[in-house]
Amino acid sequence: MSIGLTHYLLLAAMLFAIGMFGVLSKRNIIAVLMGIELMLNAVNINLVAFNRFMPVHDLTGQLMALFAIVVGVAEVAIGIALAFRIYRDRNTINVDELNRMKG
């Protein structure tokens, strides 16, 4: 059995699901950020795998993954800064306590 697109996609889906689980179930805002990073990487794996196995004629998939990495990094920077700021202002990074949106 040779390794093909399906295997990579399944792997990416699992990684995505794990990240999603983290995002939904962790209390610490930094852990949530980590979950998001995992999900982003899962998507990138998809992109690269498609580029490798689908009939295309250039490196668009990899380029796309590159841009996604750039955006992901920017997002992490902002996310950490936000977490830091929230911690300073409210002395907590527990997402459960950050419920000012409660209607």
Instruction: Name which of residues 9 to 68 contact another protein (CB under 8 A).
Output: 9-11, 13-28, 30-35, 37-38, 41, 44-45, 48-60, 62-63, 65-67
The count of chain residues that interact with another protein, using the rule CB under 8 A, is: 83
- Burial of residue 42, with CB atoms counted within 10 A of its CB: 0-12 exposed, 13-18 middle, 19 or more buried: buried
Alpha carbon distance 46, 80 (integer Å): 26
Q: What residues between 68 and 87 interact with another protein by CB under 8 A?
A: 69-78, 80-85, 87
Least distance CB 45 / another protein (angstroms): 7
Matching residue, tokens 């399944």: 10
